[in-house]
Amino acid sequence: MEELKQTVVDELKAKNTDGKLTKDEITALGELLLENTVAKMSAPSIKLLQAASVDITELIKGAGESWIAAMKKKFLLDFS
CA 50, CA 13: separation in Å to the nearest integer?
Answer: 35
Residues 17-38: tens digit of each pLDDT: 888 888 888 888 889 999 999 9
What is the mean pLDDT of the segment spanning 61-78? 83
Fill in the DSSP letter of residue 79: T
Fill in the DSSP letter of residue 66: H
Q: Kindly indicate the confidence band of residue 52, based on its pLDDT and cuts at 50, 70 and 90.
A: very high
Chain centroid offset of residue 45 CA:
19
Contact of 79 with 71, CB cutoff 8 Å: no
Its pTM stands at 0.72
Contact of 38 with 60, CB cutoff 8 Å: yes
pLDDT at 43: 96
Percent of the chain surpassing pLDDT 70 = 95
